[in-house]
Structure 1
Amino acid sequence: MDEVWRVTARTATDGYGDGYGDGAVRVGEILIDDADFPWLRGLFTPGPGFAPLKPLFNREVALLGRINEEPDAWAAACEEIERSVVLAAPAGPVAEFLLHISGDRAWFRWSDNLVTED
Protein backbone atom coordinates (compact mmCIF):
# COMPACT_ATOMS: atom_id res chain seq x y z
CA MET A 1 0.00 0.00 0.00
CA ASP A 2 2.62 2.59 1.13
CA GLU A 3 0.48 5.58 0.16
CA VAL A 4 1.28 8.87 1.95
CA TRP A 5 -1.47 11.35 2.81
CA ARG A 6 -0.70 14.88 4.01
CA VAL A 7 -2.31 16.89 6.77
CA THR A 8 -1.68 20.63 6.57
CA ALA A 9 -2.92 23.65 8.49
CA ARG A 10 -5.86 25.39 6.86
CA THR A 11 -4.82 29.00 6.26
CA ALA A 12 -6.02 31.89 4.13
CA THR A 13 -2.51 33.14 3.36
CA ASP A 14 -1.04 30.31 1.31
CA GLY A 15 -2.36 31.41 -2.05
CA TYR A 16 -4.89 28.59 -2.24
CA GLY A 17 -6.93 29.47 0.83
CA ASP A 18 -7.19 25.76 1.56
CA GLY A 19 -3.92 24.97 3.34
CA TYR A 20 -2.53 23.05 0.39
CA GLY A 21 -0.22 25.56 -1.30
CA ASP A 22 3.56 25.71 -1.13
CA GLY A 23 3.40 27.88 2.00
CA ALA A 24 1.15 25.46 3.91
CA VAL A 25 2.31 24.39 7.35
CA ARG A 26 2.72 20.62 7.50
CA VAL A 27 0.78 19.14 10.41
CA GLY A 28 1.90 15.63 9.54
CA GLU A 29 1.92 12.72 7.14
CA ILE A 30 0.06 9.43 7.27
CA LEU A 31 1.69 6.36 5.74
CA ILE A 32 -1.27 4.10 4.96
CA ASP A 33 -0.74 0.53 6.12
CA ASP A 34 -4.32 -0.74 6.43
CA ALA A 35 -7.48 -0.20 4.40
CA ASP A 36 -10.82 -1.48 5.67
CA PHE A 37 -13.42 0.39 3.62
CA PRO A 38 -14.41 3.08 4.35
CA TRP A 39 -11.51 3.55 6.79
CA LEU A 40 -7.83 4.05 6.02
CA ARG A 41 -5.28 3.65 8.82
CA GLY A 42 -1.62 4.40 9.04
CA LEU A 43 1.49 5.55 10.82
CA PHE A 44 1.29 9.25 11.69
CA THR A 45 4.48 11.30 11.57
CA PRO A 46 3.93 14.75 13.07
CA GLY A 47 5.19 17.85 11.33
CA PRO A 48 6.03 21.31 12.66
CA GLY A 49 2.36 22.34 12.71
CA PHE A 50 1.13 19.47 14.89
CA ALA A 51 2.03 20.73 18.39
CA PRO A 52 -0.63 23.48 18.55
CA LEU A 53 -3.31 21.06 17.24
CA LYS A 54 -2.37 18.06 19.40
CA PRO A 55 -4.74 19.04 22.27
CA LEU A 56 -7.62 19.23 19.77
CA PHE A 57 -6.88 15.75 18.38
CA ASN A 58 -6.46 14.38 21.93
CA ARG A 59 -9.81 15.88 22.95
CA GLU A 60 -11.56 14.44 19.88
CA VAL A 61 -10.23 10.91 20.54
CA ALA A 62 -11.19 11.14 24.23
CA LEU A 63 -14.71 12.27 23.26
CA LEU A 64 -14.90 9.45 20.70
CA GLY A 65 -14.63 7.05 23.64
CA ARG A 66 -17.66 8.77 25.21
CA ILE A 67 -19.62 9.40 22.02
CA ASN A 68 -22.85 7.97 23.46
CA GLU A 69 -22.68 10.31 26.47
CA GLU A 70 -21.42 13.43 24.66
CA PRO A 71 -22.31 13.22 20.94
CA ASP A 72 -22.59 16.99 20.49
CA ALA A 73 -19.19 17.66 22.08
CA TRP A 74 -17.59 15.00 19.87
CA ALA A 75 -19.25 16.42 16.73
CA ALA A 76 -18.04 19.91 17.66
CA ALA A 77 -14.46 18.63 18.05
CA CYS A 78 -14.67 16.93 14.63
CA GLU A 79 -15.94 20.13 13.03
CA GLU A 80 -13.09 22.09 14.64
CA ILE A 81 -10.57 19.62 13.21
CA GLU A 82 -12.08 19.94 9.73
CA ARG A 83 -11.95 23.75 10.01
CA SER A 84 -8.31 23.61 11.19
CA VAL A 85 -6.66 21.22 8.74
CA VAL A 86 -6.71 20.01 5.16
CA LEU A 87 -6.43 16.28 4.44
CA ALA A 88 -4.81 15.52 1.10
CA ALA A 89 -4.51 12.28 -0.79
CA PRO A 90 -1.49 11.86 -3.05
CA ALA A 91 -3.60 13.42 -5.85
CA GLY A 92 -4.66 16.44 -3.78
CA PRO A 93 -7.03 17.67 -1.07
CA VAL A 94 -10.28 15.85 -0.31
CA ALA A 95 -13.58 17.69 0.10
CA GLU A 96 -14.64 16.19 3.43
CA PHE A 97 -13.12 13.90 6.03
CA LEU A 98 -13.30 12.46 9.53
CA LEU A 99 -9.76 12.23 10.94
CA HIS A 100 -8.56 10.76 14.24
CA ILE A 101 -4.95 10.97 15.45
CA SER A 102 -3.75 9.20 18.59
CA GLY A 103 -0.05 8.85 19.28
CA ASP A 104 1.66 7.55 16.15
CA ARG A 105 -1.56 6.23 14.58
CA ALA A 106 -4.13 7.96 12.40
CA TRP A 107 -7.35 6.66 10.92
CA PHE A 108 -9.82 8.42 8.70
CA ARG A 109 -12.56 8.25 6.11
CA TRP A 110 -13.02 10.77 3.35
CA SER A 111 -15.14 11.91 0.45
CA ASP A 112 -14.48 13.85 -2.72
CA ASN A 113 -17.98 15.33 -2.44
CA LEU A 114 -19.24 17.71 0.20
CA VAL A 115 -22.22 16.36 2.08
CA THR A 116 -24.90 18.99 2.58
CA GLU A 117 -27.78 18.89 4.99
CA ASP A 118 -31.22 19.68 3.59
Structure 2
Amino acid sequence: MKDDHSVVWTLHRRDDDQVLAELVVTGGDFPWLDARVQPRDGLAELRPLFAEQLRRLDGDTDVETSESAYEAIRKAVTLRYPEGDEVPEFILHIDGDAAWWRWHDEPFDQEDD
Protein backbone atom coordinates (compact mmCIF):
# COMPACT_ATOMS: atom_id res chain seq x y z
CA MET A 1 0.00 0.00 0.00
CA LYS A 2 1.34 3.42 -0.83
CA ASP A 3 2.22 5.77 2.03
CA ASP A 4 -0.41 8.31 1.06
CA HIS A 5 -2.96 9.68 3.48
CA SER A 6 -5.44 10.14 0.65
CA VAL A 7 -6.02 6.37 0.56
CA VAL A 8 -9.68 5.69 1.31
CA TRP A 9 -11.25 2.39 2.31
CA THR A 10 -15.04 2.14 2.54
CA LEU A 11 -17.41 0.54 5.01
CA HIS A 12 -20.66 -0.87 3.60
CA ARG A 13 -23.86 -2.26 5.08
CA ARG A 14 -23.83 -5.98 4.34
CA ASP A 15 -27.52 -6.37 3.45
CA ASP A 16 -27.83 -3.56 0.87
CA ASP A 17 -24.22 -2.42 0.15
CA GLN A 18 -24.99 1.15 1.30
CA VAL A 19 -21.77 3.10 1.95
CA LEU A 20 -21.73 3.81 5.69
CA ALA A 21 -18.38 5.56 5.95
CA GLU A 22 -15.21 6.47 4.17
CA LEU A 23 -12.11 5.54 6.16
CA VAL A 24 -9.34 7.99 5.23
CA VAL A 25 -6.00 6.45 6.15
CA THR A 26 -3.94 8.63 8.48
CA GLY A 27 -1.19 6.16 9.32
CA GLY A 28 -0.72 2.88 11.08
CA ASP A 29 1.64 0.38 12.60
CA PHE A 30 1.68 -2.79 10.51
CA PRO A 31 -0.47 -4.84 10.50
CA TRP A 32 -2.89 -2.15 11.73
CA LEU A 33 -4.11 0.87 9.76
CA ASP A 34 -5.47 4.05 11.35
CA ALA A 35 -8.04 6.29 9.70
CA ARG A 36 -10.34 9.23 10.12
CA VAL A 37 -14.00 8.22 9.80
CA GLN A 38 -16.09 10.26 7.39
CA PRO A 39 -19.58 8.99 8.27
CA ARG A 40 -22.45 8.66 5.85
CA ASP A 41 -26.13 7.99 6.45
CA GLY A 42 -26.67 4.73 8.28
CA LEU A 43 -23.46 4.59 10.32
CA ALA A 44 -25.07 6.11 13.42
CA GLU A 45 -27.41 3.14 13.84
CA LEU A 46 -24.45 0.72 13.81
CA ARG A 47 -22.21 2.68 16.20
CA PRO A 48 -23.60 0.76 19.22
CA LEU A 49 -22.10 -2.44 17.76
CA PHE A 50 -18.65 -0.84 17.65
CA ALA A 51 -19.08 0.64 21.13
CA GLU A 52 -20.04 -2.77 22.50
CA GLN A 53 -17.03 -4.38 20.85
CA LEU A 54 -14.66 -1.83 22.45
CA ARG A 55 -16.38 -2.20 25.81
CA ARG A 56 -15.85 -5.96 25.68
CA LEU A 57 -12.21 -5.57 24.64
CA ASP A 58 -11.55 -3.12 27.47
CA GLY A 59 -13.38 -5.21 30.05
CA ASP A 60 -12.61 -8.47 31.72
CA THR A 61 -14.52 -10.63 29.27
CA ASP A 62 -13.78 -14.06 27.95
CA VAL A 63 -12.80 -14.85 24.38
CA GLU A 64 -16.30 -16.06 23.44
CA THR A 65 -17.85 -12.75 24.51
CA SER A 66 -15.31 -10.75 22.51
CA GLU A 67 -15.81 -12.99 19.49
CA SER A 68 -19.58 -12.53 19.61
CA ALA A 69 -19.13 -8.74 19.45
CA TYR A 70 -16.80 -9.18 16.47
CA GLU A 71 -19.30 -11.48 14.75
CA ALA A 72 -22.13 -8.94 15.19
CA ILE A 73 -20.06 -6.36 13.33
CA ARG A 74 -19.07 -8.80 10.57
CA LYS A 75 -22.72 -9.75 10.05
CA ALA A 76 -23.67 -6.08 9.67
CA VAL A 77 -20.88 -4.63 7.50
CA THR A 78 -18.32 -5.26 4.81
CA LEU A 79 -15.04 -3.44 4.30
CA ARG A 80 -13.74 -2.54 0.85
CA TYR A 81 -10.19 -1.98 -0.28
CA PRO A 82 -9.44 1.39 -1.92
CA GLU A 83 -9.77 -0.35 -5.31
CA GLY A 84 -13.35 -1.37 -4.42
CA ASP A 85 -12.99 -5.12 -3.83
CA GLU A 86 -14.44 -6.60 -0.65
CA VAL A 87 -11.95 -7.46 2.10
CA PRO A 88 -12.35 -11.19 2.91
CA GLU A 89 -11.47 -10.86 6.59
CA PHE A 90 -10.92 -7.93 8.93
CA ILE A 91 -11.03 -6.75 12.51
CA LEU A 92 -12.31 -3.17 12.64
CA HIS A 93 -12.70 -0.81 15.56
CA ILE A 94 -14.47 2.56 15.40
CA ASP A 95 -14.49 5.07 18.23
CA GLY A 96 -15.93 8.47 17.36
CA ASP A 97 -14.14 9.74 14.27
CA ALA A 98 -11.23 7.31 14.63
CA ALA A 99 -10.98 3.84 13.09
CA TRP A 100 -8.28 1.21 13.19
CA TRP A 101 -8.24 -2.21 11.59
CA ARG A 102 -6.23 -5.09 10.30
CA TRP A 103 -7.20 -7.32 7.42
CA HIS A 104 -6.35 -10.54 5.68
CA ASP A 105 -6.75 -11.43 2.03
CA GLU A 106 -8.28 -14.82 2.89
CA PRO A 107 -11.13 -15.66 5.30
CA PHE A 108 -9.93 -16.78 8.74
CA ASP A 109 -12.43 -19.62 8.96
CA GLN A 110 -11.52 -21.56 5.82
CA GLU A 111 -11.28 -25.24 6.60
CA ASP A 112 -9.12 -27.69 4.72
CA ASP A 113 -11.09 -30.56 3.22
Gaps of 5+ in 1: 15-23
**TM-score, structure 1 as length reference:** 0.83
- Written as runs of structure 1 = structure 2, the 5 A alignment for 1:1-118 is 1=4, 2-11=6-15, 14=16, 24-66=17-59, 68-91=60-83, 92-116=85-109
How many residues are matched? Answer: 106
Q: Take 2:70 and 2:20, find their aligned partners in 1: how far apart are those partners?
A: 16
RMSD: 1.4
Q: Take 2:97 and 2:44, find their aligned partners in 1: how far apart are those partners?
A: 13
**TM-score, structure 2 as length reference:** 0.86
State the 1:48 CA deviation. 0.5
Gaps of 5+ in 2: none
Q: Take 1:101 and 1:46, find their aligned partners in 2: how far apart are those partners?
A: 11
What is the percentage of aligned positions where both structures have the same residue?
35
AA paired with 1:9? R
Q: Take 1:36 and 1:82, find their aligned partners in 2: how far apart are those partners?
A: 23
